[in-house]
A and B are shown apart, each in its own frame.
Chain A
Amino acid sequence: MPDILQILILIVKIVALTFCVVLPLVPISVYFERRFCAVIQDRVGPNRTGIPLTLLGFKKDFHFFGLIQPVADGVKLFLKEDFTPSYVRKAFYWMAPALTVAPALITVCVIPFGSPISIFGSEQKLVIADLDIGPLFVFAISSLTVYGITLAGWSSNSKFSLIGGVRSTAQMISYEICLGLSIIPVLLYYGDLNLSKIVQNQADNGWLLLPLWKGGHLGLPDLQTALFLIPAFIAFLIFTISIFAETNRMPFDLPECETELVGGYHTEYSSMKFALFFMGEYAAMVIGSALIVTLFLGGWSVGFGMDKWINDLHIGSFQFGGLIHLMAFLVKLIVFILFFILVRWTVPRFRYDQLMKLGWVIFFEAALVNVFLAALIIAAPQLTAAIIGGGAVLLIAVTAAVIWVAMVSEAKPKIRRA
């Protein structure tokens, strides 16, 4: 019965990829966050928590740089009192944490974790659902997290939570637009919305931001690809910063800004419910990094024309190249998560009006102009020189107009005195 086999394989994939790859990344990134911020601030961070082997009669405890710390944190959160204040709206209060975690975990299903593995001639892709609308699916689902946060803010029935929830809504809606617009150049370039195919394309023809090989041969990119680096880099910048805003990470963590709002939307939450919010935030960060890596930095591909060779590695009929690619993907992912953390401990928090201005006045326009720039570069080989020139002039004029509007909108009104 092949149907049942299919379903079984799907379940194995879900369990393996979601629960054995992505979920463990959450505590690992929490650990990295603590250790990395510690060394940045000339501290040590948790380096002691280990397995107390001395209790079992061994000579030495097992520390391993405090890697067990996330487990201890988890146990602590489990054992804390799960307190529900009497004045909250119970149903929504209980629903909200689940609503923030679930979407983040659902989006895992379109991320390609590695190249296909084949056993006994049957090929299995290392992606749970090989959808043809990958990025759109991620945006559609991940923007549902905002419901969780807003509901948490509203149902907590406390002013700090409410302000946090409202801020988060406004922020997410503003940055969703930049997020969507900024990857249009990428999608134009690949002409595909299927993330697996996008990554395969990058493995064959060079990563979007590092096109140093084509068809498996190292070499400098041709003029069109080289020129496309400009819109690609702009898109990368806008997309990355929007992901920061989308995941409520540091320079934009206004919804939970401790200095103003106590804890923001999760002020009233404790124990596992708080842990779920925490997990949701980090899971969103993991997925965001995964998306960036997939779209711009070659996903699972090792690069430099080595992917074909890795794909062909096999023991008997078991082609395990996909597992190496999975490792490559995880390494890239963790490097990017470290970058997220570095940003958090470097860049100070934005003010709310700055955040909104950055989203609506700068990134929105920049992303729009970027779409046309990318389209012009992609279409250039089919166009005559006159049209290209005209398009370029038009683009420059539009850009200048946009910059002028942005400047005018910034001009302060004259102070009148009585």
Chain B
Amino acid sequence: MAVVKLQRPKLNAGEKIYFGAILKGFFITMSHAVRSLLGKTTGAKDLASSGLGVTMQFPEQRWDNQLPEYYRGAPTLVIDEQGRERCVSCQLCEFICPPKAIRITPSEIPTDDKWAKVEKRPIEFDIDMIRCIYCGMCEEVCPEQAIFLRKDYLVTGHTRAEMVHDKKKLYEIGGIRTGLVNKWNELK
């Protein structure tokens, strides 16, 4: 490669004194400040912010309708249209979970159950939301489409124990999910 020699730009006298540039700087900063104070910050509309700065004033203004489709919130368990708990407690998510946030206690499904042929289900399923990093690996690895990252992002609690989502809580947030592959149905 040929060596390219860059010349520093020659400044004229006005630029050397640079008072003009500083004054221009004042105008730019002040215009931003004034527009912010008037609630018309640049980009406030696009970001659906409060207008005082591009910041969203959180508890009063919510993200909820701004979230993109691919948003990764709290991981949850789901049931399908037939009311079946989809997790077969294969524990793949437990093993893939990078921060080891998931704890599963597997158990068998009693033989008189309608879905006895599925054989296993979790008796306990805890996700420690203090550990979870919302990576979505569990959702990706699950062979049963049983675990999904929902759009809930307000995961709070007063104690560490409160921050562990147990099975009941997980199904509560997850709810019913339709349009999944139902591979345990009777073949027609």
B30 touching A342, Cβ below 8 Å: yes
Report yes or no: B29 in contact with A44, Cβ–Cβ below 8 A: no
Q: How does the 8 Å CB contact mask read for A36-55 relative to B, with 1 for contact and 0 for none?
A: 10111111110100000000
> Are the CB atoms of A44 and B55 closer together than 8 Å?
yes
B33 with A36: CB separation less than 8 A:
yes
Q: Does B29 contact A42, Cβ atoms closer than 8 Å?
A: no
> Which residue of chain B has its CB nearest to the CB of A347?
B22
Tell me the chain B residues, 23-54 only, with Cβ under 8 Å from chain A.
Answer: 25-26, 28-30, 32-33, 36-37, 41-43, 50, 52-54
A41: which B residues are within 8 A, CB to CB? 32, 53
In the complex, the answer to whether B53 meets A342 with C-beta atoms within 8 Å is: no
Min C-beta distance of A54 to chain B, whole Å = 13
Residue from B22, B36, B54 with most neighbouring chain A CB atoms (10 Å): B36
From A39, A44, A45, B32 is in contact (CB under 8 Å) with A39
Are B25 and A39 touching (Cβ within 8 A)?
A: no
Q: Which residues of B contact A189 (CB under 8 A)?
A: none
Q: Is the CB of A43 within 8 A of B33?
A: no
Q: Is chain A's binding surface mostly helix, strand, loop or mixed?
A: loop
- CB pair A347–B25 under 8 Å, yes or no, is yes
Cβ–Cβ contact A346 & B22, under 8 A: yes
- Whether A44 contacts B42 by the Cβ 8 Å rule is no
Question: Does A345 lie at the interface of the complex (its beta carbon under 8 Å from any beta carbon of B)?
Answer: yes
The answer to whether B52 touches A44, judged by C-beta atoms less than 8 angstroms apart, is yes
Residues of A within 8 A of B28 (CB): 346
On chain A, the residues within 8 Å of B43 by CB distance are 42
| Residues A39 and B36 in contact in the complex (CB < 8 Å), given A44-B50, A44-B57 | yes
Closest residue on chain B to residue A339 by CB atoms? B26
B26 touches A42 (CB 8 A): no
Shortest A17–chain B CB gap in Å is 31
Nearest chain B CB to A267's CB is how many angstroms away?
Answer: 29
Alpha-carbon gap, A44 to B54, bound state (A): 8
* Size class of the contact patch on chain A: 10 to 19
CA distance A346 to B28 in the complex (A): 8
- Interface pair A38/B53, CB less than 8 Å apart: yes
Most buried by B among A40, A43, A47: A40
Q: Among B22, B25, B42, which residue has its beta carbon within 8 angstroms of that of A42?
A: B42
Q: How far is the CA of A44 from the CA of B52 in the complex (A)?
A: 6
A47 to B57, CA, bound (A): 10
Contact at A342–B41, with CB atoms within 8 Å?
A: no
Establish whether residues A42 and B30, one from each chain, have CB atoms under 8 Å apart when the complex forms: no
Per-residue contact bits, chain B 1-29, to A (CB 8 Å; 1 contact, 0 not) = 00000000000000000000010011011
Tell me the complex Cα distance, A36–B32, Å: 10
**Residues of A close to B32: CB separation below 8 A:** 39-42
- CB contacts under 8 Å to B, within A11-45, are 36, 38-45
Instruction: Flag if A43 contacts B25 (CB, 8 Å).
Output: no
Chain B's closest residue to A41 (CB) is B32
Return chain A residues, CB-CB under 8 Å to B57. Answer: 44
Residue pair A43, B30 in contact (C-beta under 8 Å): no
Expressed in whole angstroms, the Cα–Cα distance for A342 and B53 within the complex equals: 17
| Chain B residues closer than 8 Å to A40, beta-carbon distance | 29-30, 32-33, 36
Q: Residue B53 contacts which of A36, A42, A345 (CB distance < 8 angstroms)? A: A42
Residues of A within 8 A of B54 (CB): 42-43
Nearest B residue to A251 via CB reads B22
Q: Is the CB of B36 within 8 A of A342?
A: no
CA distance A38 to B50 in the complex (A): 14
Write out the residue numbers on chain A whose beta carbons fall within 8 Å of the beta carbon of B22: 346-347
Closest A residue, CB atoms, query B18: A347
Measured CB to CB, the closest approach of chain A to B38, in angstroms, equals: 10
Between A38, A39, A42, the greatest number of chain B beta carbons within 10 A of the residue's beta carbon is seen for A42
When chains A and B are docked, how far (Å) is the Cα of A177 from the Cα of B53? 42
Chain B minimum-CB-distance residue to A39: B36
Residues of B within 8 A of A (CB): 22, 25-26, 28-30, 32-33, 36-37, 41-43, 50, 52-55, 57
The 6 closest A-B pairs by CB, nearest first: A39-B36, A44-B53, A346-B25, A43-B53, A39-B33, A44-B55
- A: which residues have CB within 8 A of B? 36, 38-45, 47, 342, 345-347
Could you name 7 residue pairs across A and B whose Cβ atoms are closer than 8 Å?
Answer: A38-B36, A39-B32, A40-B33, A44-B50, A44-B52, A44-B55, A342-B29
Given contacts A47-B52, A345-B29, A347-B25, 6 further A-B contacts (CB under 8 A): A39-B53, A40-B30, A42-B41, A342-B26, A342-B29, A346-B25
